[in-house]
Amino acid sequence: MKTLLVVCVACTLVALSVSATAEQRLKNCNEVRAAYSSKGFNVNDVPNKGVNGASLKVCPQGFSCCTAEMEEKLSQQSHSDMKAPVSRLSASLQANFKQKHENFDRFFRELLKNAEVSLHNMFVRTYGMMYVQNAELFKNFFEALNRYYVSGSAAVNLDSMLSDFWADLLERMFRLVNVQYEFSDSYMECVSRHTEQLQPFGDVPRKLRLQLTRAFIAARTFVRGLALMPEVVNKVNTVSASPSCVRAVMKMMYCPYCSGQVALKPCQNYCLNVMRGCLANQADLDTEWNNFLDAMLSLVERLEGPFNFESVMDPIDVKISDAIMNMQETSMQVSQKVFQGCGQPKPSMAFRSKRSVKETGFTGRFRPYSPDARPTTAAGTSLDRLTNDVKKKLKHAKKFWSTLPDTVCAGERIAPGDECWNGTAKSRYESVVIGNGLANQVSNPDVDVDITKPDIVIRSQIAVLKEMTSRLKAAHSGNDISTGDDEVEESSGEESGSGCDSPSCNTDRDIYFSTPSSTRVKGVPPDSAGIAKQGSMALALCGLVLALLAPHLR
């Protein structure tokens, strides 16, 4: 009995001490006045000592250092205080991926530019005036690739563009290797229409079309994905906190002021429930956000491997040169097949009046192409370095929206243990922590959330992410998901590539070009030694062509 009596007396003394301390604080609101004015408010709003808090709408009523006017101002402040850490995290994410987008975009554009410069320099050295007089064809080729990179199939039908390029190149080379004949426009249309059947450039056009299509779709889709991330974050940041959220945050952060406990921080679980209620709509982004990031990471692997933009664009000059050499080596067979299919051309009167090939005495020699002359790496970096860095950032960005409450409710913003503000007093927070997302807020004890009214902005961004994920998955398979306008453009592009309205064309449409089994198809050279070997094989034929041209260039 004596022990029990001692315990009771001790508890009474502690209670009286706490009550006396709280009462002392309320008798003197100096600490509240200092904290309140530090927020930029007028210190005269705070009473010198505790007053009747019956007019308070959010904080506990009773003896208080708060007034209704203070509560209103602190409510506005709490809205900014809640938004600040979320905005900082969002801004960091935006800045990261905005920079990644700029890095990749600049890298791909410079690769395109470097490839064009490299081809120009190589072809000037290798083909001389033959190239200079036809340089516009290659300039247009790279301009079309740039437009496709920027705008996709809405601007350029890549298949049609490549078909037209090879057909135009064949037409120009066919005239050069058959300078002794005259060809009408209708005759050359017949030649161009059957470029694929003739296969004058070997397997290079087919391989290059496949490589360019996959690499460009992967590169431009990935870059668009990087650009989308800051856009989504920016749109989500426009979502305003609900009035019930603002009240809950104000109660969590500033109601301790009213009892004079300005240094008291909220319990962690209490903070989690408040923030999960406030950010319920944002958390619903998480599923599609993570699906989008997974699709981005999968496409990065393609960029590093079979759809590598750098490995396609860097040696494109060599690949096109290899195709030209193939045409030179098989020019006699190609010409014979054309003559069989399109008819025997008329001899050129101008050519007859010129000196024979032997009389020209051409002795020019080509300088071999050196791979060392290739431009430095684009944008001062490499694709491997860029992809390694962006993969880390993409992985780190996963679950960004669902972990926002946990990130906010950490560190100096909360009080550890039970010595914390639970919404009514300095004590343990007893409520269960609810889950993320709108549906879970039906049981939130601290924030009133209408789960029947999802935010329109958030729902629209979920739809945007879904659409982009579909594009990324298609790009992973080498396909470009086009809009309705793009599909119309593709259809009309294919039609225009093979159309012919003249009567003479109609008679040639069913020409069959047989391909002898002995015709050799040359692949892409595996290394610089192979290229040099192939180049030397073509020197004689190139010299012959230039010899034929020499009288006309004087």
Dump pLDDT digits (tens) for 439-497.
999 999 999 999 999 999 999 999 999 999 999 999 999 998 754 333 323 333 333 33
Task: Give pLDDT, residue 482.
Answer: 58
Grade residue 317 by pLDDT with cuts at 50, 70 and 90.
very high
Task: Calculate mean pLDDT across residues 359-367.
Answer: 32
Higher per-residue pLDDT: 551 or 63: 63
- Within a domain: residue 469? no
CB atoms within 10 A of CB 243: 11
CA distance 317 to 516: 29
Residue 388 has pLDDT above 70, yes or no: yes
Per-residue pLDDT tens over the stretch 157-214 = 999 999 999 999 999 999 888 888 888 888 998 988 888 888 999 999 999 999 999 9
pLDDT average, residue stretch 523-533: 36
pLDDT score at 26: 58
Q: Could you tell me where the beta strands, DSSP code E, fall in 222-322?
A: none
Classify residue 302: in a domain, yes or no.
yes
Q: Do residues 174 and 324 make contact, with C-beta atoms less than 8 angstroms apart? A: no
The answer to whether residue 294 is domain-embedded is yes
* 94-108, 283-297, 366-380, 502-516: range with lowest mean pLDDT: 502-516
Report the mean per-residue pLDDT for the chain: 80
Higher pLDDT, 86 or 372: 86
39 within domain boundaries: no
Residue 413 · residue 265 · CB < 8 Å: yes
Q: Is the pLDDT of residue 86 over 50?
A: yes
pLDDT at 53: 84
**pLDDT-derived band at 98, boundaries 50, 70, 90:** very high
Residue 60 banded pLDDT, cuts 50, 70, 90:
confident
pLDDT value, residue 531: 37
pLDDT score recorded for residue 352: 54
Burial class (CB within 10 angstroms; exposed 0-12, middle 13-18, buried 19+) of 102: middle
Bigger pLDDT: 39 or 11? 39
Q: Quote the pLDDT of residue 289.
A: 98
Tell me if 366 is assigned to some domain.
no
> How many Å apart are CA 464 and CA 288, to the nearest integer?
9
The domain total for the chain is 1
- 311 within domain boundaries: yes
210-245 pLDDT, tens digit each:
999 999 999 999 999 999 999 999 999 999 899 999
Is 229 in a helix, a strand, or coil? helix
Average pLDDT value for residue range 9-21: 41
Using CA atoms, how far apart are residues 223 and 103, in angstroms rounded to an integer? Answer: 9
* CA 312 to chain CA mean position, Å: 19
DSSP state of 421: B
The larger pLDDT score, comparing residue 500 to residue 194, is at 194
Residue 379's pLDDT is 55
Residue 18: pLDDT over 90: no
- Residue 121 is part of which domain span? 93-348+381-440
Mean pLDDT of 315-327: 93
In a domain, 359, yes or no: no
Higher pLDDT, 536 or 382: 382
Q: Is residue 125 part of a domain?
A: yes
3-class DSSP state of 545: helix
Residue 2 has pLDDT above 60, yes or no: no
Using left for φ > 0, alpha for ψ between -120 and 50, and beta otherwise, residue 205 falls in: alpha
Residues 259, 277: Cα–Cα separation, whole Å = 25
pLDDT value of residue 553: 38
pLDDT value of position 359: 39
Q: Provide the pLDDT for residue 378.
A: 57
Q: What is the pLDDT of residue 549?
A: 39
Quick one: which of 404, 429, 59, 462 has its CA closest to 235? 462
Distance CA 300, CA 288 (A): 18
* pLDDT above 90 as % of the chain: 60
pLDDT tops 80 at residue 299 = yes
Q: Determine the pLDDT at residue 204.
A: 94
Which tens digit of pLDDT belongs to each residue from 395-448? 999 999 999 999 999 999 999 888 899 999 999 999 999 999 999 999 999 999
